[in-house]
Amino acid sequence: MLLFLVVFLPLFGALIPALLPRSLGRTAPALVAAAVTASALLASGMPILDAFAGNPMALHVPWLPQAGFDLALRMDGLGMLFVLLILGIGLLVILYGHYSLAGEKAIGRFYSLFLLFMGAMLGVVLSDHLLQLLVFWELTSLSSFLLIGFNHQRQEARDGAIMALTVTGAGGLALLAGLLLLGHIAGTFRISELLSAGDLIRAHPLYIPTLGLILLGACTKSAQFPFHFWLPRAMAAPTPVSAYLHSATMVKAGVFLLARLFPVLSGTDPWFFAVSGVGLLTLLYGAYHALFQHDLKGLLAYSTISHLGLIVLLFGMDTPLAAVAGIFHIINHATFKASLFMAAGIIDHETGTRDMRLINGLWAYMPRTAALAMVAAAAMAGVPLLNGFLSKEMFFAQTLHLSALGPMRGLVPLAATLAGILAVAYSARFIHDVFFNGQPRDLPCFPPHEPPRFMHLPVVILVGQCLLVGILPGLIVAPFLDLAVGDMLGAPLPEFDLAIWHGFNTPLAMSLVALAGGLALYGVRHRLYAFHDRRWPALDALVLFRAAFERLTHAASRVSRMAASGSLQQAIALLVLTALLAVCWPLLTHVSSLTGPLPLTPIDGLTLLGALLMMAAALLAVFWHRRRLTVLIVLSVVGLMAALTFVRFSAPDLALTQLAVEVVTILLLILALFFLPQQDRAESRAARRGRDLLLAVGMGTGAGALTWSILTRPAQSIADYFLANSLPGGGGANVVNVILVDFRGFDTLGEITVLSVAALGIYGLLDNLCLEAGTVEGIPRRWVDERHIPALSLVTRLLLPMALLVSIHLFLRGHNAPGGGFIAGLVTAVALILQSMASGSVWTRQRWRLRSHPLIAWGVLIAVATGAGSWLFGHPFLTSAFGHVDLPLVGGIELATAMCFDLGVYLAVVGVVMLILATLGKLNQRCAEMRRGGD
């Protein structure tokens, strides 16, 4: 339960800040976000202690066991480390954001999105199921899209959000395919189980495509070359988002995935060359381009790309010590990068700009901010006595032992040293250009000054961590590192030493070369800038992305125009042709004989007569299609015969449902006839009519052949299971109703949800629409003058209470006899529609006080609450309970929770029909009101 709270407290808590009234002020949303985060951090305390004790806490809630999909959470050492980073840094970012976003109006929306993003990341790192991990993975993409585009009124924010979502979303599709293959190979989707199947996975023929697809997902999320370009554009997000996204979340999700699947995917040449190659390219590319950024956040963004490449390179080296260095650098990078982004936000907040060509000499104005930022930048550069120095020296040491490269193994240490030189150079630029280098020039806000004290507090805490880890690594970080790396490797930990001093050795020499070379490179920066501007033409990733996006959109539009030209006939023809091919191809290629071994059922005269009447009515509907009212009557014959067919084959529930649906549909179509034009369009050409005839004959023949082939062959049905378990398992003798509200209740819940959404869509299309009655100039309207015939009004009013009694009767008897909530709702809807047609929509609205929208919402909520109530008793969702009660005078009756679910279905159906009816009834009345207003 504690793991559930860790993940879902932020997810459910995300609903609160946006709903708080603005009268509470801007502090209330921040307090709620901080309280939710702190509560999740407290809830993680016991699981963290269990992880240190060697007993990882796990939670497993069955959901769809037949499909192998359950809610599974597990906190081992690796998950524990990321939980602390996500919640700890998240809490500091919330405090920082309270001051950084002081002028933001939509502060509640910001903190809601922030908590949603936090919960999604927690779900990623704690998931013990591959497909569940993917769900949270995609949720991080969606929530980061909303956070990056938070200031949606700015084009820059919209562009950055779309680019991030497109790249990470495409990577998510690749990851979906890769994880499905991985689960197929291992025979399980439980991560804790497949981690021991490394030998099986690496030896499988599908290992290479699985590895490639998973790496695509990880590399797009972690901004690895060539998918790095979205990350600098994400700087359009508010600074708290940038600090959180670059340090503990989002981009760390990709490296977490590599660490999580390290035991099963590593250990092969494809892993070594693919992962280390991508990491090395990203390390150098990001470091080089960081040096030439003039925007503070741009420099930090490219440095993030470079450091992520360093971590990926370490994982690709495929040695236990490299894994230690990679995890260590994840911790260090999170602390110094979060503090640097917060410092950059403070500078932007106080000066009004992030351009390093303008913000010079801030040491004289903001000494405390300058001191904190300088320490964090020195940690990023790898200066001794700071945390970045330790992990970078471990990285240098691991580059010296790449025997797999043969004679080229010396290139990696050279490349690593070059990346170190560039890191020192761009860190020196951050320090010197911003805090020294003369006086500020043309600042929008002058003179700058220190921010509020508590805005500094998160930066102080993070910079303090940089110092403490750099000076006392064995005491501060070693226990967490041991536990995380041990669970990542799934093997005994290698021996390693976090001492500050290892003597004069090659890694120390590489560090000294990097420090000296970086300072020297920064000294000749102006000549380097000139060289860069001459040799590297400005390539805007956004321009290239837009061009590719427009080409892809144009190609998709061409395909769409070919498939759907706007003609409903053509769209239906294409759909029917596709269905015909799908039916006929298996029949022609896999069925040797159309008729199977089962004997044919004798044809009785009554059934034959019904079939002939149905076919005749269908043909008459085609021939009389211009006579609309007549066609509706003919179509009702088709529906009636379908209902009688269900009666003939002992399906009374289906017959009742078919009959009720038919009545509702015909009545609503009659109402719609009022708005159709009195004159039809011209007939289609003979060629099109011939095409439609061939398709109709072909589809009818194909469907008939498929039905014939199926019914004449033996088939194993699940009907026997439902018949045997309906009464003992569901407490009802009506098997169909028990299936709908118990065995397949989730399907029914989905159906009423879809029905409700469709009704709201119809309401949205017709609301505020003015639609006159269908007339054509010069042709009189063929309607009677009397709008509401008294005799019809009187009869329908007398029938209403009887219809409602029948509806109640059908509802109450549905669990043990034909009926149920859906049929009862349709009967009620028919009675109400008849009232509206006979007495008018105005008369109906005056007496129908209930609003349809809340009725629909209550119906769906009651159905969901009924299903969720079973969780309180430890049963799966929508498990029904039943029992028998003896009442005085009444006797024994059965009570079942399925009746509550049926009540939700009833309310949703009535609300949907009444919403559509009320919307149709207002169309012509709205036109009359507009005409009166115009007069």
Confidence category of residue 779, pLDDT binned at 50, 70, 90: very low
Confidence category of residue 778, pLDDT binned at 50, 70, 90: very low
pTM listed for this prediction: 0.76
Confidence category of residue 777, pLDDT binned at 50, 70, 90: very low
Percent of the chain with pLDDT over 90: 32
Smallest Cα–Cα separation from 215: which of 229, 200, 227, 230?
Answer: 227
Confidence category of residue 683, pLDDT binned at 50, 70, 90: low
Backbone φ and ψ for 882, nearest 5 degrees, come out as: -150, 160
CA distance 905 to 825: 8
Confidence category of residue 729, pLDDT binned at 50, 70, 90: confident
CB burial of 242-262 (b: ≥16 within 10 Å; e: otherwise) equals bbbbbbbbbbbbbbbbbbbbb
Asked if 766 and 920 count as a contact pair (C-beta separation under 8 A), the reply is: yes
Which of these ranges, 118-122, 214-218, 404-408, 627-631, has the smallest mean pLDDT? 404-408
459-500 pLDDT tens trace: 999 999 999 999 998 888 888 888 989 888 877 778 777 878
Q: What pLDDT does 10 receive? A: 93
Average pLDDT over residues 806-822: 86
Which of these ranges, 174-183, 620-629, 901-910, has the smallest mean pLDDT? 620-629
Kind plus residue range of the DSSP H or E element containing 891: strand 891-896
Which range of 61-75, 357-371, 548-562 scores highest in mean pLDDT? It is 357-371
131-156 pLDDT tens trace: 999 999 999 999 999 999 988 888 88
SS (H, E, C) 776-821: ECCECCCCCCCCCCHHHHHHHHHHHHHHHHHHHHHHHHCCCCCCCH
Quickly count: other Cβ atoms within 10 Å of residue 790's Cβ: 10
Kind plus residue range of the DSSP H or E element containing 75: strand 69-75
Eight-class DSSP state of 234: G
pLDDT at 688 over 80: no
pLDDT at 682 over 70: no
Asked if 437 and 361 count as a contact pair (C-beta separation under 8 A), the reply is: yes
**Cα angle at 660 between 655 and 665, to 5 degrees?**
125
Higher pLDDT, 819 or 216: 216
pLDDT at 130 over 70: yes
Confidence category of residue 731, pLDDT binned at 50, 70, 90: confident
Confidence category of residue 917, pLDDT binned at 50, 70, 90: confident
Backbone φ and ψ for 287, nearest 5 degrees, come out as: -65, -40
CA distance 634 to 628: 10
Average pLDDT over residues 223-249: 87
Confidence category of residue 547, pLDDT binned at 50, 70, 90: confident
Q: What pLDDT does 314 receive? A: 93
CA distance 52 to 5: 20
Question: In which region does residue 449 sit, left (phi positive, over 0), alpha (psi from -120 to 50) or beta (all else)?
Answer: beta
What number of H helices and E strands is found in the chain?
Answer: 40, 4
Q: What pLDDT does 116 receive? A: 94
Average pLDDT over residues 924-933: 61
CA distance 602 to 604: 6
pLDDT at 773 over 80: no
257-272 pLDDT tens trace: 999 999 999 989 899 9
pLDDT at 783 over 60: no
Q: What pLDDT does 838 receive? A: 80
Confidence category of residue 334, pLDDT binned at 50, 70, 90: very high
pLDDT at 216 over 90: yes
Average pLDDT over residues 43-63: 88
Q: What pLDDT does 606 receive? A: 85
**Ranges assigned E (strand) in 101-192:** none
Q: What pLDDT does 696 receive? A: 85
CA distance 487 to 896: 48
593-619 pLDDT tens trace: 778 788 888 888 888 898 899 889 988
Q: In this structure, which amino acid lies at residue 877?
A: F
CA distance 193 to 186: 9
pLDDT at 776 over 60: no
Average pLDDT over residues 198-219: 93
Average pLDDT over residues 735-763: 87
Q: What is the CA radius of gyration of the chain?
A: 35
Question: In which region does residue 697 sit, left (phi positive, over 0), alpha (psi from -120 to 50) or beta (all else)?
Answer: alpha
pLDDT at 890 over 60: no
436-459 pLDDT tens trace: 888 888 888 888 888 888 888 999
Arithmetic mean of pLDDT over the chain:
85
Average pLDDT over residues 166-182: 93
Confidence category of residue 580, pLDDT binned at 50, 70, 90: confident
Q: Which residues pair with 892 in a beta bridge?
A: 886
Percent of the chain with pLDDT over 70: 92
What tokens does 31 get? Answer: 């307090």
